[in-house]
Structure 1
Amino acid sequence: MGKLKITILEAGLELVPREISNHPSVVKNAARRGKPPAQTLLDVSIHYSAMLRIRDRLKRGRPDIVHITLLEALESPLNRKKLLEIYVHTYDGKAIFIHPSTRIPRNYNRFVGLIEQLLVEERVPPGSPEPLLQAQNMSLADLIKNAEASGLLLLREECERESVRTVVEKALNNSLLIGVGGFPHGDFSKETLEAANYCYSIYDETLMTWVVASRLISAAEFLFKIL
C-alpha cells in the first residue's frame, strides 16, 4: 500500500475577487489590517454584503473549512509517519501543495495571514527553493498527475454508499487521490464530476470536510496498524 492521498476540492479559499474589491466592507477590513483589498482573504463572515454580488457565493469565502481540516490532517499520527499527502484545490483553480512537516497555525487570524502571503507570493517562505506551502494555477487533472495518482476517487453524498474502510483500501491499493468537498453548500462543478474515476458516499447525510478527512485518516491508520 502507498500513502493516503487526499485533496480538499473547490475549497472556499481565495483572495477577494476584483469585482468586489471596492466594496465598503472589503475596503474597511483591508484598511484596518493595513493591506490592499485584493490581497486579503475572502471571508463570508466579514464580506457577506459584498459577496451577494458574486457567482456561487454560497460555496465561497470559507477559509475556516480548510484551516480546521489541515489542523486535523497534519497533526495526525498518519502524517507523522509520513504516510499522508494532503492537497488543496481551490474554487478559483489554484493547487496548494503542503509539505508534511508544515505546522498550520492554530490561531485562525494567523492562518489567514499565512494563506494571504501564500496566495500573493505563491510560496511560503517566499522565494524558498523548498517551500512548506506552494500555490499555483493548475487544473484538477494536472493536480492528479502531480500527486502521482492513477485517478480521482470522489466522495459525494449522491453516489453509491460504501464503507470508509473499503474506500481507503481502494485508494491505497490503486494509488487514487481521494477528493473531499471544501465548501459548505452546493455541489461539485461539472468539471470535477467529469474528472472522477470513482464516486462513493460514506454517509447518508452531508458531513463537514474535516469530519470526512478525520474518518479517512483513522481508517488508514487502522490499516497501517498505526493505531
Structure 2
Amino acid sequence: MLNLIIADAEVETVPAEVAGHRVIRWHARQRGRRPVEIILNSGLHHAAMRKLVDGDRRGRPDIAHLCLLLALDAPLNREGLLRVYLHTRQNKVISVDPSTRLPRVLNRFEGLLEHLFLTGEAPPGKPLLRLEEATLADLVRRLQPKRTITFSDRGQRKPLAEVFAGLSKADNACILVGGFPSGDFLSDVSSISDEQVCIDPELLTAPTVVSRAIYAYEEALGITRSRLGR
C-alpha cells in the first residue's frame, strides 16, 4: 500500500487580513459567499496577497487539484493500493476516498473545497473528502508506514527506479510531495522521513513528481505487468 501525502499544500480560505480587499469582496459576491469562506487563489487575488506573509507561494489550489487528479486516475488507485491525503500550511488534513471523482475544472474544485472547509465533509450527502486538524507528523504517525520517503531537491540524488526497492504490496509505505510552487517545506520533514530523495537535477513540479513516483511504485511491484496480463 502506498500512502501519498501532498504536504504543506497552499490550499486555504482567504485570511482575515486581506478579506476586505475589493478584489476579494468582488469575487466573494460572485460566488455567493463571505470573503473568508472562499478559497485563496493567487491567479485571482494576487493584488490582495501582496501584504501576506509568504504571499509569493500561497493561494495555489491548482497544484493540489492537478496532483489529486493524477493520483486518483492512476492504475495504482484502481487496484486499491493507493491512499491520498492533502496536508495544508495551516495543519489541516484532507482525507480523500479512493473512489472520489473530482471536478476537472478548477473553479468547481474550489467550490468543493469551500464546502469542505465550512462543514468538514464534501460533497453533501455522500462525503468523499473529510477535513480534520492534524500536523504532518501526526498524520504520518497515524499511518504507521514501514518507510517514509520525502521527495525534495535537497535530498540525496537517487534513480527513481531504486526508490521503492525492497517494498512489497503488504508493506505500508508513505511518500511526501510538496504541494507548493517554490521554496522548501514548512513542516520539519527531516524528523519524520526515513530518507529524502532527489530524482532529477532540475526542479520538477509537484504533479510531475506525483505521477512519476506512482508509476515507479507500480513498476517496482509489478502492477503494470500484472494488469496487462489479465
Letter in 2 for 1:140: L
1:23-102 matches, cutoff 5 A: 23-102=21-100
Distance 2:10 2:109 in 1: 14
Distance 1:23 1:171 in 2: 50
Post-superposition offset of 1:146: 2.6
Quote the residue 2:16 is aligned against: 18
Letter in 1 for 2:202: E
Give the direction of change, closer, same or farther, for the CA distance of 1:114–1:161 in structure 2 (3 Å limit). Answer: same
| Contact 2:112–2:123 (Cα < 8 Å) also in 1 | no
The DSSP-based 3-state class of the residue aligned with 1:92 is: coil
Mark the runs of 5 or more structure 1 residues left unpaired by the alignment: none
1:165-204 matches, cutoff 5 A: 165-169=161-165, 175-189=172-186, 191-204=188-201
Q: 2:128 aligns with which of 119, 132, 142?
A: 132
Quote the residue 1:105 is aligned against: 103
Post-superposition offset of 1:25: 1.0
Post-superposition offset of 1:150: 4.2
Identity %: 37
The DSSP-based 3-state class of the residue aligned with 1:78 is: helix
| Contact 1:60–1:91 (Cα < 8 Å) also in 2 | no
Q: Is 1:223 aligned to residue 220 of structure 2?
A: yes
Mark the runs of 5 or more structure 2 residues left unpaired by the alignment: 225-230
Quote the residue 1:155 is aligned against: 151
| Contact 2:136–2:187 (Cα < 8 Å) also in 1 | no
- What is the TM-score when the length of structure 2 is the normalising length? 0.90
Distance 2:86 2:140 in 1: 11
Post-superposition offset of 1:186: 0.9
- What is the TM-score when the length of structure 1 is the normalising length? 0.91
Give the direction of change, closer, same or farther, for the CA distance of 1:11–1:171 in structure 2 (3 Å limit). Answer: farther
| Contact 1:44–1:62 (Cα < 8 Å) also in 2 | yes
Distance 1:101 1:36 in 2: 31
Quote the residue 2:142 is aligned against: 146
Alignment: residue pair count: 223
| Contact 2:66–2:207 (Cα < 8 Å) also in 1 | yes
Distance 1:37 1:170 in 2: 49
The DSSP-based 3-state class of the residue aligned with 1:206 is: coil
Distance 2:204 2:213 in 1: 13
Deviates more, 1:196-205 or 1:167-176: 167-176
Post-superposition offset of 1:159: 1.4
The DSSP-based 3-state class of the residue aligned with 2:51 is: coil
